[in-house]
Structure 1
Amino acid sequence: MELASSDPVRPVGRGRKAQAAVRAATLAELLDRGYADLTVEGVAQRAGVHKTTVYRRWKNRESLVVDALAEHFATDIPIPDTGSVEGDLRALAQALVQSMTSPVGRAVQTAMLSDAGRLPEIAEARRGVLADRFRRAEPVVARAVERGELPADTDPAALFRTLAAPVYFRLLISADQVAEGAENAEDAEGVADETVRVALAAARAGALARARPVTDGEQA
């Protein structure tokens, strides 16, 4: 999804095209103004639709933001299959970096760190996204185990958390400047390579093993 321009646009009418324009405009307004200053009127003007068109589908600002973010979260992310666990993890890490540094990704992060992040619907959508990311890591780990690249008890969710955590820290906490675009690909690859090295080292050392059930004998 591309962010809507702040320049005047022609009316887009109704239907799916209008809905897509409204969602894109919502993310753009989140990035430019933040959740506190976002208004339905501002979104409608940016999208090139009348505000009644917005209210026909979304009852208020909260439902509009939730829908725009949910649509973004629902975007399919291909499961990499490069032939090696290192290549697969690098592809996942690069996709995460690119997503977070794109205009849409920055808008989503702005919303998550604002009052909008406390809306129950957005919190639920965020949990759903994390669960989906964990599921997508499962075939990557399964293939790596079959090739003998990772221990058999490697936990896919733990591996993805270890892969993603340094990316989130660098881009959200320490605020490293990794810009979008081909001219900044080297910076993005550097962040991805660093996090892959950490995740692989932990997994190969057995630090990311699935929790082993405690038996009755051990409890005694």
Structure 2
Amino acid sequence: MDLDDAEQADTAPRKRTGGRSARVRVAVLTATLEQITEFGVEGLTIGDVAARAGVAETTIYRRWGTRTALIADAVTELAAVGNPVPDTGSLRTDLRVLAEQVSHLIARPGIARLVGTVIALSVDPEVEAARRRFWDDRFERSSHVVTRAIERGELAGTTDPREVVETLSAPLYFRVLVGSEPIDDAFITRCVDNTLALHGQPAR
């Protein structure tokens, strides 16, 4: 019995807690990202995703409607998975952890191609909305690092959290999407140092 069969078989109201539904969603989005990693967005089909996830194609069409909506949701999911907001007690080390998280995310096979494709497909309203959700979610999560630094007195109260995160992250994405050099420890250190040099003025 695949995930879709299990979901349809469980019809008793007392059992419809959302757990099975959540597992189906995770399985489909994981399969979508794996398919993109292996074959690119251009090689993604609903049928292949369904087979990999162990669900029926009708389940995917019923939940997401279109291939574009499925890709959009998968992109959004990337922002939330495996990236807990650091809280080391130090702005420098928090920024370093954030930079390493970005580095690990975009170093995953196929992710750079996925991000590039999403940018290219941004004329599609669904993809554009997903792109905005992706960045808004990452900025919202990362901003807690800055607000805590302000509370500790490491940064001035007028510091804009989004600007700090942009300063830290932009060189990392640029190096992967545009440049050809790898992101190594020295580059991450430089990104952190540059961010602190620009924004790291303690409260007075």
| Structure 2 alignment gaps of length 5 or more | 8-20
Q: Choose which of 166, 173, 196 in structure 2 pairs with 1:200.
A: 196
Separation (CA, whole Å) in 2 of partners of 1:146 and 1:157? 16
* Paired residues, number: 186
Amino acid in the other structure paired with 2:102: L
- Aligned-residue CA RMSD in angstroms? 2.7
Separation (CA, whole Å) in 2 of partners of 1:52 and 1:136? 34
Q: Choose which of 187, 191, 195 in structure 2 pairs with 1:191.
A: 187
Q: Choose which of 56, 59, 63 in structure 2 pairs with 1:57.
A: 63
Deviations 1:44-98 (A, max 9, x none): 2333334333333332212222222233334474322212110111111111111
Say whether residues 1:12 and 2:18 are aligned partners: no
How much does 1:196 deviate?
Answer: 0.4
Amino acid in the other structure paired with 1:40: I
1:123 paired residue number:
128
2:3 match: secondary structure: coil
Say whether residues 1:171 and 2:176 are aligned partners: yes
TM-score normalised according to structure 1 size: 0.70
The more displaced of 193-202 and 135-144 is: 135-144
Query: Closer, same or farther in 2 for the Cα pair 1:138/1:52, shift >3 Å?
Result: closer
Structure in which a larger fraction of residues adopt helix: 2
Is the 2:143–2:161 Cα contact (8 Å) retained in structure 1? yes
Q: Choose which of 121, 128, 134 in structure 1 pairs with 2:139.
A: 134
Q: Choose which of 156, 159, 166 in structure 2 pairs with 1:154.
A: 159
Say whether residues 1:100 and 2:106 are aligned partners: yes
TM-score normalised according to structure 2 size: 0.75
Q: Choose which of 43, 61, 78 in structure 1 pairs with 2:84.
A: 78
Is the 2:41–2:114 Cα contact (8 Å) retained in structure 1? no
Query: Closer, same or farther in 2 for the Cα pair 1:19/1:133, shift >3 Å?
Result: closer
Separation (CA, whole Å) in 2 of partners of 1:104 and 1:155? 32
How much does 1:25 deviate?
Answer: 1.8
Separation (CA, whole Å) in 2 of partners of 1:58 and 1:133? 23
Query: Closer, same or farther in 2 for the Cα pair 1:49/1:159, shift >3 Å?
Result: same
2:174 match: secondary structure: helix
The more displaced of 163-172 and 97-106 is: 97-106
Amino acid in the other structure paired with 2:99: A
